[in-house]
Amino acid sequence: MMYITKQELDAVEKVTGIPLSSISQSPDDLSIDFVLDDLVIEIISKFDYSKTDSKLNVYIYVGDYFETSFETNQEHLLINLYNKLVECAVSDSVIYNHLKEVYRNSKLYLHLSSGNIYELISIGNTTANKEGYEQTASYVKLSTNELFMSHLNEFGTKFKRMTY
What pLDDT is attached to residue 71? Answer: 93
pLDDT score for 52: 60
**Distance (Å, rounded) from C-alpha 15 to C-alpha 128?**
33
The structural domain count of the chain equals 2
* Domain-embedded: residue 1: no
Question: Amino acid identity, residue 19?
Answer: P
Residues 78 and 39 in one domain: yes
Same domain? 32 vs 79? yes
Do 13 and 88 lie in one domain? The reply is yes
Is 129 buried (19+), middle (13-18) or exposed (0-12) by CB count in 10 A?
exposed
Distance CA 38, CA 62 (A): 5
If you count them, how many residues does the chain have?
164
118 in the same domain as 146? yes
Name the residue among 3, 115, 116, 12 with its Cα closest to residue 53.
Answer: 3
Q: Quick one: 130 and 83 in the same domain?
A: no
Residues 114, 98 share a domain: no
Residue type, 78: L
Mean pLDDT along residues 142-158: 94
Residues 138 and 79 both lie in one domain? no
DSSP, collapsed to helix, strand or coil, labels residue 78 as helix
Mean pLDDT of 132-150: 92
Is the same domain home to 67 and 14? Answer: yes
Provide the pLDDT for residue 53: 61
CA nearest to 119, candidates 78, 164, 69, 74: 78
Domain boundary among 102, 121, 153: 102
Comparison of pLDDT for 164 and 22, the residue scoring more:
22
Q: 89 and 144 share a domain? A: no
Query: What range does the domain containing 112 cover?
Result: 108-161
Q: Average of pLDDT values for 72-92?
A: 92
